[in-house]
Amino acid sequence: MSLEVRGLRVRRGGREVLHDVALDVPPGEITALLGANGAGKSTLVLAVAGLLPVAAGGVTADGDQLTGLRPERVRALGVAAVPEGHRVLRSLSVADNLRVAGPDPAPALAAFPELAELRDRQAGTLSGGQQQMLALAQAIAGAPRYLLVDELSFGLAPAVVARLVPALAALAEAGIGVLLIEQYTRLALELATRVHVLDRGRVALRGTPDELRGRLRSAYLGEGDGDL
């Protein structure tokens, strides 16, 4: 049982940007997806989530076919995506953001108790870290089996990222399979059990963090490959 991507090809702007990509996201673990800007990481998340059409290949979650389904069907089958840049419903309150995301906000509020205190705040007035928390909480509110997080640390201060990391680890411990795209390679290697490196739309390297630590050449990695 896993989220399985097989032979995935995706075209954008008239050219193929993902070429025959295969990877597994097992339940109960964090799998990291690394790669330089433009390698195709966000494209993979959007295609799995049903937000971009797939030219060939496909995606299954615990055997359920996701390929070609609309985003709401993909979510209903237990696969939630947190796109880059914490996209919350800015004009709605925190409580309403959670309400539209799923019937039971309890697991989301358990993961991020801070949000209970912010429940009446308009989401657009939250800090970047609070918005990322809310975006993660919205994804959790749908009780996903798999969670795809595009740039957890995007635009956030290290102290804020340090708050989000244990929450992500706890979700994996609770059995959710997490695919983590992260510009801070060191952080991704600490959190993940398996790592895939995309290079110009192909999986160029894969392995455990220990196997890859020495082999990750800067050419494959993003600009944010710094300390955290």
Binding interface with ligand ATP (CB under 6 A): 12-13, 17, 35, 37-43, 222
Nearest-approach distance from CB 14 to ligand ATP, in angstroms: 8
How many Å apart are CA 65 and CA 148, to the nearest integer? 17
Smallest separation, CB 17 to ligand ATP (Å): 4
Retrieve residue 107's tokens.
Answer: 């697991």
User: Which H helix or E strand runs over 47?
Assistant: helix 41-48
Nearer to ligand ATP among residue 37 and residue 65 (C-beta): 37
The sheet carrying 15-25 orders its strands as: 15-25, 3-12, 56-61, 64-65
Closer residue to ligand ATP in complex, CB, 38/175: 38
Nearest approach, Cβ of residue 84 and ligand ATP (Å): 6
| Cβ closest to ligand ATP, residue 116 vs residue 205 | 205
At 87, give phi and psi (nearest 5°): -90, 95
Q: Which is nearer to ligand ATP, 112 or 220 (CB)?
A: 220
- Which two three-digit tokens encode residue 202? 């192909």
* Cα-only R_g, the chain: 17
Q: Shortest distance, CB of residue 46 to ligand ATP, whole angstroms?
A: 7
User: Given the structure tokens 């796109």, which residue do they identify?
Assistant: 83
Q: Nearest residue by C-beta to ligand ATP?
A: 13
- For 168, the 3-state DSSP assignment is helix
Smallest distance from ligand ATP to CB 114, Å: 28
CB-nearer residue toward ligand ATP: 115 or 221? 221
